[in-house]
Amino acid sequence: MNIRTMLRFPLIMSIILLISFTLSACGGTNDAKKGNESQGAGKEQGVKTQSANQPNKVTKASNNESVISEQPTKNADIRKIQVHFPDAALADLRQRILATRWPDKETVSDQSQGVPLETIQRVAKYWANNYDWRKVEARLNSLPQYMMNIDGLDIHYIQVKSKHPNAMPLLIMHGWPGSIIEQLKLIDPLTNPTAYGGKASDAFDVVIPSMPGYGFSEKPATTGWGPEHIAKTWAKLMNRLGYSKYVAQGGDWGALIADMMAVQKAPGLIGIHTNMPGVVPKDIDIAVQSQTKNPIPSGLSSEERRTVKQLRFFYKHSGYAFLMGTRPQTLTALEDSPVGLAAFMIDHDAKSLELISRAFAGKRTGLTRDDVLDNITLFWLTKTAVSASRLYWEAKEKNISFFAVKGVQLPTGVSVFPDEMYEAPKSWSQKAYPKLIHYNKLPKGGHFAAWEQPRYLAEEIRATFRTLR
């Protein structure tokens, strides 16, 4: 070692020691931070676990998820809840909406390429600048909301009892992209019929659960939570609530699950009502889904041929169902972009998209802008876009068809709304439901009948079940 190197050696060593100390300190800080984060996560999970069994606990999963406060009831299996999302979650939502990266405008003049750019930009503008989530949050908290653990999952439901004596218990089931938000307008007309021109004898006690993976119900961590399982879960829910005799109503997934509850002979279930009936003969259902591979049987009436045409159109344009049925986990972007989620959810079917587009264009329709955004915002805040989508995967794994005949033998009411994805012919309805006690075609309304035309649907429910009281 020469003299020059020796003179430099102390300086080099000092630099090395300084770097080493700095790295050590940073590593220690990061390790401590990780340890604290791990401890914090464990504590939060502990609160979440304990809240199911201890009174007045608050469940908080993270800053951007819901805070659910729980209180015990006289029934140890049931906890009464209130929900409140932190301001930070709403601020984050608004920031993300404003930061949206927009695609180019569609190259067509209609909706054949999906949600038009102008429509989704109107949705985003209103969502970011005018929409108030706190209104619907207050509405939810004004209703009796509960949690019950069934088959290892916490199930959220609303239960509103009528002031009228001898009210009939009614289970109401939502679908996708719906939620309990979709059913809120039905509650008062059904529980308080005298205020809507009905009779006290038409009153119902209403139970509206959130499907697993939707809204405030727990998200399944394993497979096996398809419509057949949910049908059994809803039967358990009604049984545990003490209902030995009840009826059920559903649209979309709710219609399919109502059919399955009937086929499973759910204890206490005495009748169902559906506004999206499963009436399509199996050979026709297979032929329609294959589009061109299988011929449609001959001898159909003009009404039945029209239904086949409507079904062909739906199957050809239901890309969302194919994606959720085959690759739900790939829909990660729906958990990351609120505007992406909104575009995906409002593109359910052609007539519904037209209806929603008119609402955001300032035209009066059966749905308001707030109606639409209440539902989408619930999906966003509860981070349930992907967990809700898995229901389609579960059904596809078992080759379950929405529209095919299921073999229901219970008394059934069918309501046909003109803008539904398909209009069920009476001829098929009578064969699919041998105990058809009510069939009616309504003058207006579409797929989201409970949301869009609640008075029509409420009267249809009353008319169906009058003879079963």
Active site residues: 252, 392, 447
Residues 6 or more apart in contact with residue 237 via CB below 8 angstroms: 148, 150, 155, 157, 171, 207, 209
Instruction: For residue 182, give both structure tokens.
Output: 């979709």
First-to-last C-alpha distance (Å) of the chain = 104
C-beta separation of 205 from 169 below 8 A: yes
What is the pairing mode between strands 153-160 and 204-209? antiparallel
- Give the max Cα distance, the chain: 109
What is the pairing mode between strands 269-274 and 412-416? parallel
C-beta separation of 218 from 248 below 8 A: no
Any alpha helices (H) in 347-436, and if so which ranges?
A: 350-360, 369-382, 385-397, 426-432
Amino acid type, 318: S
Q: In degrees to the nearest 10, what's the CA dihedral of 262, 266, 271, 273?
A: -60
φ, ψ at 415 (rounded to 5°): -115, 130
Looking up tokens 């939620």, which residue turns up?
179
Instruction: Kindly tell me the burial class for residue 92, based on how many C-beta atoms sit within 10 Å of its own C-beta (0-12, 13-18, 19 or more).
Output: middle
Instruction: For residue 260, give both structure tokens.
Output: 């399955």
Helix axes 350-360, 338-346, angle to 10 degrees: 130
**Dist. CA 434–CA 406, nearest whole Å:** 12
Q: Can you tell me whether residue 438 is helix, strand or coil?
A: strand
Q: Can you tell me whether residue 115 is helix, strand or coil?
A: coil
**Dist. CA 337–CA 331, nearest whole Å:** 11
Instruction: For residue 67, give both structure tokens.
Output: 């805070």
**Dist. CA 15–CA 9, nearest whole Å:** 10
**Dist. CA 445–CA 453, nearest whole Å:** 6
**Dist. CA 405–CA 410, nearest whole Å:** 13
Q: How many other C-beta atoms are found inside a 10 Å radius of the C-beta of residue 422?
A: 23
Q: In the 8-state DSSP scheme, what is residue 183?
A: G
